Amino acid sequence: MRSMRQRLADVVVIGLIILALLGAAAPDYYRYRDIRASRDLLRQLNDAEQEYQAANPHLGYACTLDDLADAGLLSPKLSEGVTESYIVYLNCRGRRRLGPHTSYWLHLTPKYADRPYLCSDESGVVASDRWNLKACFDALQAQRSPAP
């Protein structure tokens, strides 16, 4: 029969194994949570753009994060264009002198190699690519195009 000390040692070893497994899984959990939050940020920016365009039809879409912040649609902290893991870019297509901006694009460039590029435009579709920004916009275009 096993002694109480042996049983306690077994429980401690099993506990350490469980803690090690949890420690190994934690970085993935936090990375996925961060990516999900960043996708939500893109959706929030798309919503802010739609509101801006509806409130300013003579201007069209906002071309900078500062424009959205000045309109009260974005927090001043976010208008800096930096999150914990991403750098946020927003720009319009075309020149305003020809009329209101009818399209925009935005993307999140990762600060860390284990995060994907995220991109979106006036369609509201959010796409991602693990390796580069061009492939992200290609994926966005593919999602927007109707299937033949």
Domain layout of the chain by residue ranges: 4-144
Sheet harboring 86-92: ordered strands across? 86-92, 104-110, 117-121, 126-129
**pLDDT of 40:** 94
CA-atom Rg of the chain in angstroms:
23
CB of 82 within 8 A of CB of 76?
no
Give the bridge partners for 107, in sequence order. 89, 119
Q: One digit per residue, pLDDT tens: the chain, 148 residues?
A: 568 888 888 877 888 777 777 666 566 677 788 889 999 999 999 999 999 999 999 888 999 999 999 999 998 888 889 998 999 999 987 666 677 888 999 999 999 988 999 999 999 999 999 999 999 999 999 987 665 5
**pLDDT of 88:** 95
Q: How far is CA 80 from CA 16, 77, 83, in A?
A: 43, 6, 9
Q: What is the CATH number of domain 4-144?
A: 3.30.540
